[in-house]
Structure 1
Amino acid sequence: MEPHSSAEQEQFYSEIQQLINVRKLVVTASNHIMDEGDISLNDLAIISELAIDGAMTASNLAKKTGMQNSYISTKISSMLKQKLLTEHTVSGNRRLRIVDLTSTGKHLFQDLYQAFPEKYDTLIKNLGDLLDNKAN
C-alpha cells in the first residue's frame, strides 16, 4: 500500500472535521429543539412516525425511522415505561408487536409540534450568527 500524500491526508482530515462539525451542529440543534424535557431526537422520530402514520409493528417503525430493530425494541420498552406508547400483540402471532401512542404521547407530539416554528426560527438565527462569527 502506497503512503498517502500530505495533500490527501489534509483533505481527509478536513472532511472528517466537517463531519464532526455537522454532528455537533445536529446535536446542538436537537438539544435546542428538545429542551422541553427528557426527549431525544430518536424519541421524537418514533413519536412523529406514530403520530403521522398511526399504529404499526416495531419492525416497520424501525424501517421508517432508520433505526435497528434491537434499538427500537429498547426504545419501545423505555417509552412504554414513560407511558408514551402502548403495545399489543396480534392474535395468532404473539411475536408481532403493534405499538401506538398513548394520549400522553399524542399530547407531547402536539406540544412539540406547536413549539417547533418558534424554536426553529430562533435556532436558524443563532446558527446564522454563529456562522457569521466563524467567518470573521
Structure 2
Amino acid sequence: MEAWDILQVTHEGTNAVKVSKLQMLTSRFETIRMDDHETFGEFHAKLMDIVNSSFNLGEPISNSKVVRKILRSLPERFRAKVTAIEESKDVDSLKIDELVGSLQTFEMTLVSPRKAKGIALKAIKEESLSSESEDDEKMSEG
C-alpha cells in the first residue's frame, strides 16, 4: 500500500497539485477554440489531450460536454455543418467519434474543391489569354 501511495504522489502529485492541474485543465477546456488556420484534426488532438489529462486525474469530462464543446468551438466555415448536425441529431447522445468523422469528412469537401477550382480556372485563363493573343496577331497580319 505504501508503494502505491508513493507511485500515486510521484505520478499525480499531492492533492493540492492535482487540484491545481484540474483547474488549469478546466480553464483550457473552457477557452479552447479552433483557429481559422487550424485543421479539425489538430484542434481535435488538442481538445482530446485536455479531456484525457482530466480523465487521468480522476475527473472525466462527459461525452455530451465534449460534443457540445466541439460544436461551439468551430470557426465560421463549419457553421452550416454544425447547424445541420444540431437540427438532425440528438447532441446529447451523439458519440464523439461519430461527430469527429462527420466533421473531418465535411472539412475534406471544403478544402479539395477550392484547390481544384483555382487550378482549373488558372489553366483556362492562361489558355484563353494565349489564344486571344494569337487571334490578335492573325488579325494584325491579315
TM over 0.5: no
Q: Which has the larger radius of gyration?
A: 2
TM-score by length of 2: 0.25
